[in-house]
Amino acid sequence: MIDLTGKVALVTGAGRGIGRAIAGKLAACGAAVMINDLDQAPAAEAEEAIRLAGGKAAILAGDITEPEFPAYLVESALRVFGGLDILVNNAGYTWDNVIQKTGDEQFQAMLDIHLVAPFRVLRAASAHLRESAKKETAEGRRVMRKVVNITSIAGTDGNPGQAGYSSGKAGILGLTKTLAKEWGRYNINVNAVGFGMIETRLTQALAGPAASIEVKGRQIAVGVQPKALEAIKVTCPLGRPGTPEEAAGAVLFFCSPLSDYVTGEVLICGGGLHF
């Protein structure tokens, strides 16, 4: 059993899919979870599910890519729960196109959500994390804290049609490895989990008109061609996409004491799939 009683976790993009599964697992292990999502309704549903299961949660809906919001989110977690021990940068979406059809706005949007926003969240949390560690060290205590950044095999291997997404997901790896070296002295493990094909609304099969999500007033098509999903059965050694719960399990490892001597690493949770 993994016991996170007394820990406070902040999970971005936790209203749906993998983020919601991560928040649920952390809460089930005893952590109090601050849930962030762009949309209020799914965030509230995630909070209610945790509370009904006997866990502790609070929500702060809002756009993580707005420059001032990450600091407000961190401050809110500290105000509501009195601390911060686990930080999972999970929020993200895909906006795909081949490079000659990718505009500056589209490319920048992928960098903003997958790299700039996590950077701002971590920068906002740094003062609390460092000061807490210094105080604990002065008291002769070692308290391990956890940062988990979410990447993708599109970031480690590249993927046609995803110049922006792949660049953002590759960039987060550099940030992860740098902070692992900067923050080791503060007893903070900084790692990344890279996902392959996981069953979420972003990877659902296209049927008729493309499904879409709304971001900053823009409707962005999401989904995967049915042929591509069928190909997973052949190209993925495990022969199927992963579930959000399976994806969350890999993140939970990095949030737990099991990873106390692991930092600066990337764990691929993709069933053996490589693009």
Residue 140 is assigned to a structural domain of this protein:
yes
C-alpha to C-alpha distance for 50 and 53, rounded to whole angstroms: 5
Residue 3 is assigned to a structural domain of this protein:
no
Residue-level pLDDT at 210: 52
Residue 2 is assigned to a structural domain of this protein:
no
Residue-level pLDDT at 55: 98
Q: Using the predicted structure, report yes or no on whether residue 97 has a pLDDT greater than 90.
A: yes
CA–CA distances in Å: residue 105 to residues 47, 48, 92, 102? 33, 36, 16, 8
Residues forming the active site: 165
**Any idea what the CATH number is for the domain that residue 99 is in?**
3.40.50.720
Mean pLDDT, range 223-248, rounded to an integer:
88
Q: Using the predicted structure, report yes or no on whether residue 207 has a pLDDT greater than 80.
A: no
Residue 245 is assigned to a structural domain of this protein:
yes
Instruction: Give bridge partners of residue 149 from the DSSP assignment.
Output: 89, 192
Residue holding tokens 């740098």? 178
AA letter at 208: G
pLDDT tens, 37-63? Answer: 999 999 999 999 999 999 999 999 999
Burial of 181: CB neighbours in 10 Å, binned 0-12, 13-18, 19+: exposed
pLDDT tens, 114-173? Answer: 999 999 999 999 999 999 999 999 999 999 999 999 999 999 999 999 999 999 999 999
- Structural domain including 12 reads 8-269
Residue 1 is assigned to a structural domain of this protein:
no
Residue 182 is assigned to a structural domain of this protein:
yes
pTM above 0.85, yes or no: yes
Residue 275 is assigned to a structural domain of this protein:
no
Residue 112 is assigned to a structural domain of this protein:
yes
Left if phi > 0, otherwise alpha if psi is -120 to 50, otherwise beta: which for 63? beta
Give Cβ neighbours of residue 131 (< 8 Å, ≥ 6 apart).
none
pLDDT tens, 179-196? Answer: 999 999 999 999 999 999
Instruction: Label the pairing between strands 8-11 and 32-35.
Output: parallel
Domain count, the chain: 1
Q: Using the predicted structure, report yes or no on whether residue 228 has a pLDDT greater than 90.
A: no
SS (H, E, C) 16-61: CHHHHHHHHHHHHCCCEEEECCCCHHHHHHHHHHHHHCCCEEEECC
